[in-house]
């Protein structure tokens, strides 16, 4: 899942592979515009901000990308070039011996001045995986009065939390996903999610149960009608709604009772 932790792992992998190297050849495709040139430019660093990836070059330009559900950055063999079968390569950068870094099926791909990265990520709330998260957390205590699952997914409130961590975090916190955010101890839920994501970042996995065996990694995510791992109640499910923050949701009706239904 391309959530904040996976984007940070990607940034670390690209930093160790190609950061500090000069571009020998490149192609950046932007429909209807003169494509920028990157030959001779140096990739200084790769950083993650929430679910966004920022590749900063020596020319004071930043390549901003957002993978959503389908995009990927892949490192191909040296000298590789996209052919007719390549799946929608939006840009590629040949770094010589390390290989060719290519953006495949990338839904968001643009170049912005490094000094104006706010054009790409300025709308985001505090990143839940930054080192100063404990001090940044109070800024999101007053999340708007929507359902808690939608408020957590709105990147303007908190950056980096995706659907998997929302669903699993609410289960661990014992919160019904459809609860109005105003009735939830939001800092406590964010603390649960932050600790889960940091542990996953360290372990290189998005397992939330501590069990890495196939089919055992999650408490409720993707487990509709299967028995809850804690109480054996069948897992409930609600489909995605019309808004970007109204995503597919799973929960345990017993471990996460609706307000007024707690036993």
Q: Can you give the residue ranges of every domain in the chain?
A: 4-121, 133-251
Give residue 33's pLDDT.
66
What CATH number is given for 133-251 in this structure? Answer: 1.10.8.50
Give residue 154's pLDDT.
92
- Nearby residues of 242 by Cβ (< 8 Å), 6 or more positions away: none
Give residue 113's pLDDT.
97
Q: How far is CA 143 from CA 74, 126, 133, 193, 210, in A?
A: 36, 12, 16, 15, 30
- Cβ contact 192:182 at 8 Å: no
42 Rama sector, left if φ>0, alpha if ψ -120 to 50, beta otherwise? beta
Give residue 74's pLDDT.
96
Exposure letters 97-130 (e unless 16+ CB within 10 A, then b): eebbbbbbebebbebbeeeebeebbeebbbbbbb
- Closest to 50 in 3D by CA, of 104, 102, 120: 120
Whose tokens are 């000069």? That residue is 22
Give residue 146's pLDDT.
85
Q: Where is 101: in which H helix or E strand? A: strand 100-104
Q: What tokens appear for 46 in the block?
A: 């790769």
Q: For the segment 113-152, what is each residue's pLDDT rounded down to a tens digit?
A: 999 999 999 999 999 999 888 777 666 655 666 899 999 9
- Bridge partner list, 93: 26, 101
Give residue 134's pLDDT.
79
- Cβ contact 53:67 at 8 Å: yes
Ranges under pLDDT 70 in the chain: 1, 30-33, 85-87, 137-145, 261-263
Give residue 234's pLDDT.
98
Give the CATH superfamily of 4-121. Answer: MutM-like, N-terminal (3.20.190.10)
- Cβ contact 117:52 at 8 Å: no
Quick one: 215 exposed, middle or buried, by C-beta within 10 A (0-12, 13-18, 19+)?
Answer: exposed
- Closest to 149 in 3D by CA, of 172, 127, 180, 174: 180
Give residue 10's pLDDT.
96
Give residue 4's pLDDT.
94
């Amino acid at each position: 899942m391309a959530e904040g932790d996976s984007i940070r792992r990607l940034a670390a992998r690209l930093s160790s592979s190609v950061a500090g190297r000069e571009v020998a050849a490149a192609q950046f495709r932007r429909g209807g515009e003169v494509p920028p040139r990157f030959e001779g430019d140096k990739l200084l660093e790769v950083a993650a901000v929430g679910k966004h990836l920022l590749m900063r070059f020596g020319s004071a330009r930043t390549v901003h990308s957002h993978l959503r559900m389908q995009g990927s950055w892949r490192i191909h063999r040296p000298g590789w070039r996209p052919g007719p079968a390549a799946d929608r390569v939006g840009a590629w950068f040949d770094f010589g011996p390390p290989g060719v870094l290519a953006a495949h099926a990338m839904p968001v791909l643009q170049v912005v001045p490094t000094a104006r990265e706010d054009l790409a990520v300025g709308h985001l709330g505090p990143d839940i995986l930054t080192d100063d998260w404990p001090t940044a957390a109070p800024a999101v205590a007053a999340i708007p009065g929507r359902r808690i699952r939608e408020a957590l997914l709105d990147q303007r409130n908190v950056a980096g939390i995706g659907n998997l961590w929302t669903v699993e975090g609410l289960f661990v916190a014992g919160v019904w996903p459809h609860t109005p955010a105003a009735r939830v101890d939001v800092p406590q839920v964010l603390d649960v999610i932050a600790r889960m994501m940091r542990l996953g970042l360290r372990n290189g996995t998005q397992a939330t149960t501590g069990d890495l065996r196939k089919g055992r990694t999650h408490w409720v995510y993707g487990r509709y009608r299967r028995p809850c791992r804690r109480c054996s109640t069948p897992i409930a499910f609600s489909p995605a709604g019309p808004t970007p923050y109204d995503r597919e949701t799973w929960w345990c009706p017993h471990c996460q009772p609706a307000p007024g239904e707690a036993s």
